[in-house]
Amino acid sequence: MKYLFGIMTLFMLFTSINCNSDDPANSEVKLLEPIAEFDLSTILSEPSGIVYNQINNSLYVVSDTTAIIFEIDLNANLLQHININANDLEGITLSKYSDTIYVVEESANLVTSFLTNGNKVSSFVKNVSTNSSNGLEGISIDNNYNTYVVNEKLPRYLIALKSNVEVNRFEITLIDDLSDICYDSDLDCLWIISDESKKIIKISKTGYVISEWIIPFSKGEGITFVNDKMYIVRDSDSKMYVFNKPS
């Protein structure tokens, strides 16, 4: 009997540890506070996407109000602007070696690529939305050249593509909308920001939510990482906020 009781106790302890290890539903959701903020309003209005350029040690930012990619340094000083032929820009990412730019155009549900001089390379439609106002919102590419796009809501889909062909999709129900996505090459996972839920989630490439955090504002529209820092752009005040990378 003592042996059986010991086995049952160990099983319950293991189950408790296992369930709480990576399950956000069983852990306290922490509030993240910015360590710096930068005003982008003299450069652009309503920033909607951001990505880190590791070659230039700079950031590319887009807005849904203009067909321009803005390159800024890490202190939000304008370096250059790149004119492109696109509309309603909501997300931006770079190829593995930062030589090709990819954007999503929400109203047309387009994934479009450009050279860094602004010349268009290709474009294709990825339409899963049921409402033209809630289409593609973010894009990212992993080290194996898989592309991930998010549909804002109705439905809230994370979609995986290989050579522009859909290979998987996952519905994300933990947050109210999907505003942007960023691939983490160090952890080989994805991060998603939610404007409406005021949250950041860390998620596996198979759609499993690993962790979640609260941020102190809504309208967070773009997310990227620079080493141990997280950069978020907010469209309502045209600001860029810097956080320590959550762990």
Question: Which of 69, 236, 234 is CA-nearest to residue 61?
Answer: 69
Q: Between these two residues, 134 and 19, which has the higher pLDDT value?
A: 134
pLDDT digits (tens, 9 = 90+) for 193-215: 999 999 999 999 999 999 999 99
* Two structure tokens written together for 101: 């730019």
- Please tell me whether the peptide bond between 34 and the residue prior to it is cis, using omega within 30 degrees of 0: no
Give the integer Cα–Cα distance in Å for 247 and 245: 7
* CB atoms closer than 10 angstroms to residue 36: 13
CATH topology of domain 29-244: Neuraminidase (2.120.10)
The pTM (predicted TM-score) of the whole model is 0.89
What residues does each domain of the chain span? 29-244
pLDDT digits (tens, 9 = 90+) for 36-92: 999 999 999 999 999 999 999 999 999 999 999 999 999 999 999 999 999 999 999
Give the H or E element holding residue 6. Answer: helix 2-21
Averaged pLDDT score across all residues of the chain: 91
pLDDT at 27: 60
Q: How far is CA 117 from the centre of its chain?
A: 24
Query: What percent of the chain is predicted at pLDDT more than 70?
Result: 89
* Two structure tokens written together for 149: 């796009």
Give the position of tokens 């978020």.
232
